[in-house]
Structure 1
Amino acid sequence: MRFGCIDIGTNSVRLLIADADKNGITKIYKGIKTTRLGTGVDITSTLKIDAICRTVDAVTNFVDIARSFHCDKIIAIGTSAVRDALNKEVLLQEIYQKTGVRVDVISGKKEAELAFKGVAGGIKSCEGKSILIVDIGGGSTEFTYGEKNKIKERYSLNIGAVRLTERYLNESLYDKSHMQKLSEDIEMNLMLLHRLKEIILSRGKRIVAVGVGGTITSLAAIDQNLDVYDSEKVHSYVLTYHRVYSILNVLSGMSSDERKRVKGLMPERADIIVAGVMILTKVMEYFELEEISVSEWDNLEGLIFENIP
């Protein structure tokens, strides 16, 4: 069965086309468009008209592509920015009128569950082990803990790269006070995960930590100094805490224009990457993680696994 799955996120819209059956997934096409749907949602709880237009155009284009590949099933999900917006129906109705596709607005916990299913299917070294999955998005970050391919704990916090950039990092150059406020906000939110922390620390070295989302895949590309993004080099790459912390210090000391020229970093992500890397840094500190593996398989693959008949 051929699937076309679309993820409408806070920062971007993504498409995955793949053939799937009980034996697994064969990827055919992947696409991404930065639409920044979540601009201003943290403050106003409202989607801006121009952001809605950009997103509708991106989704319409992806639906056309999916149909050109003769997909048997097209599925679209909306995450953090859509969840939070009081006027989400404007977006959902416009997408339905233009494409005939209904968007399923999923909860943060459902998002975490899909990421777990995607990672479990994509990183074979995780099979049968205790896994902590960290999914850093534009509006929220999801945490999922599982043992032997079964989910035991899942959480969603409203800390994301776009949301926190708008709160603290609106200038081209960041001063220490802004970085300190950003750090404290993340630390305060992570305290809500004290139960999960106890579980993780009790497992010690038996835990496999895996990160998904644009922040961590960008970090893997930056750490390898990739001129051209290579998913095969990014998938399963291991980032140490030392390297994450070092890259954070380098990026936070640059201007936005300088970050746009960093190898491995998409220019469209240059303004939000520091907030994203700060989230990861604080997560690794909180859970005392020495390293984290990077997964290219995430909630889109999880969505396909969930819908295989």
Structure 2
Amino acid sequence: MIAIDLGSNTIRAVKYDCATNEKLDEFERIIKTADRLVETGGITDEAIERIIEGVLDIKKRFGEDKIKAVATEALRSAKNKEYVLEKIKQQTGVEFEIISAYEEAQYTAIAVESCLGKCGYENERFFLVDIGGGSTELILKNKDNVISESYKLGIVTFTQKYKTPDAIKLAVKKQTKVFKDFIDLVFSTYKKPKIFAASSGTPTSIAALKKGMNYHTYDPEKVNGTVVTLDDLDYWGEKLMKMEMKKREELVGIGRGDLIITGIYIFREIFKLTKYKECVVCDDGVREGVAVSECRMENG
């Protein structure tokens, strides 16, 4: 089966074999779904065209198969969401479902639970952060329970609203203070888990850079299970800031050069608020969670 995750910055897809529970192929492209969303309140025609092109390329690459396609914060927020979904369906034949923030958290938790287990980490209890283009999800996985909170603080929307690195840094510092209430509540109610995990573009980019990879040599299997620290964020944040945009984008991907700095600012604040010393990074996210969930239903 094919699972597609239409995020606020990227479209990611995976081809999965439900019989063997194996990932057969994967696809990722930066399409900036949320570009100018803050300014216009909707998804632009240019972004819709990029989405359609991405979906058609996924179908061409993966071939015919059952497709489960989900969309997250950018579509949840867009005033023209019905028009966007209809346009995508007309042009590609693929029907996207806009999932809730809680469903998004559940799918991410399923994927990261599997990733942690494969990498030899304790995976029944963990604290997880997913820094997206339009929102940031904080998730506590406690055995069979998933407790989560979604905040409309994403790397695309933040970057486009506040423009300069200094303004973004200050805004992140002020607005991420709301994370503290949720963190304090779940840590006092369920006890702070030993494992701190992260999924999404910023953590995976830092993990890849730490391993000597760039956007073109990126290997998700090498990223899965990589440990990053606050020192890593400070080191790469400073190094990337000093680079020209072209060089920066060679490392993290075209269209991500400014976004990675915002993501690092958000990630740093979460590190400080949770007081964790290290974080286990997983490339696996919503698309893998959707695939695993669909296969579980198919296999009964």
Which has the larger displacement, 74-83 or 222-231? 222-231
Query: Cα deviations across residues 218-253 of structure 1 (Å, max 9, x unaligned)?
Result: 110111222521222211000012211222233234
Which has the larger displacement, 87-96 or 24-33? 24-33
Unaligned runs of 5+ in 2: none
Indicate which of 54, 61, 86 corresponds to 1:58.
Answer: 54
Q: 1:147 aligned to 2:142?
A: yes
The Cα of 1:271 is off from its aligned counterpart by 2.1
Q: CA distance change for structure 1 residues 103 and 239 in 2, over 3 Å: closer, same or farther? A: same
Q: 1:49 aligned to 2:37?
A: no
Contact 1:221-1:229 at 8 Å conserved across structures: yes
Which residue number in structure 1 is paired with residue 231 of structure 2?
Answer: 242
Runs of 4+ in 1 over 6 A off after TM superposition: none
State the distance in 2 between where 1:300 and 1:179 align: 29
Contact 1:136-1:161 at 8 Å conserved across structures: yes
TM-score, length of structure 1 as denominator length:
0.87
Report the 3-state secondary structure (helix = DSSP H, G, I; strand = E; otherwise coil) of the residue aligned with 2:231: helix
Contact 2:128-2:140 at 8 Å conserved across structures: yes
Q: 1:233 aligned to 2:228?
A: no
The Cα of 1:183 is off from its aligned counterpart by 2.9
Matches within 5 A, 1:70-219: 70-71=64-65, 73-124=66-117, 125-127=120-122, 129-148=124-143, 150-169=144-163, 174=165, 176=166, 178-191=167-180, 194-200=181-187, 203-204=191-192, 206-219=193-206
Q: CA distance change for structure 1 residues 182 and 247 in 2, over 3 Å: closer, same or farther? A: farther
Contact 1:200-1:207 at 8 Å conserved across structures: no
Q: CA distance change for structure 1 residues 104 and 129 in 2, over 3 Å: closer, same or farther? A: same
The Cα of 1:268 is off from its aligned counterpart by 3.1
Query: Cα deviations across residues 112-158 of structure 1 (Å, max 9, x unaligned)?
Result: 1100011112221445532111111111111210122x224111111
Q: CA distance change for structure 1 residues 215 and 195 in 2, over 3 Å: closer, same or farther? A: closer
Report the 3-state secondary structure (helix = DSSP H, G, I; strand = E; otherwise coil) of the residue aligned with 2:75: helix
The Cα of 1:108 is off from its aligned counterpart by 1.3
Contact 1:119-1:297 at 8 Å conserved across structures: yes
Contact 1:39-1:162 at 8 Å conserved across structures: yes
Q: 1:26 aligned to 2:22?
A: yes
Q: CA distance change for structure 1 residues 182 and 79 in 2, over 3 Å: closer, same or farther? A: same
Query: Cα deviations across residues 5-64 of structure 1 (Å, max 9, x unaligned)?
Result: 11111111111001024xx62111111121111011123211111111111121122133
State the distance in 2 between where 1:196 and 1:302 align: 23
Report the 3-state secondary structure (helix = DSSP H, G, I; strand = E; otherwise coil) of the residue aligned with 1:267: coil
Which has the larger displacement, 244-253 or 108-117? 244-253
What percent identity do the matched residue pairs reach? Answer: 25
Q: CA distance change for structure 1 residues 197 and 183 in 2, over 3 Å: closer, same or farther? A: same
Query: Cα deviations across residues 63-93 of structure 1 (Å, max 9, x unaligned)?
Result: 3333x2x42x201111111110000112111
Which has the larger displacement, 36-45 or 273-282? 36-45
Q: CA distance change for structure 1 residues 183 and 255 in 2, over 3 Å: closer, same or farther? A: farther
Which has the larger displacement, 4-13 or 253-262? 253-262
State the distance in 2 between where 1:233 and 1:136 align: 20
Which residue number in structure 2 is paired with residue 298 of structure 1?
Answer: 285
CA RMSD in angstroms comes to 2.0
Which residue number in structure 1 is paired with residue 249 of structure 2?
Answer: 260
TM-score, length of structure 2 as denominator length:
0.90
Report the 3-state secondary structure (helix = DSSP H, G, I; strand = E; otherwise coil) of the residue aligned with 2:18: strand
Which residue number in structure 2 is paired with residue 9 of structure 1?
Answer: 7
The Cα of 1:215 is off from its aligned counterpart by 1.0
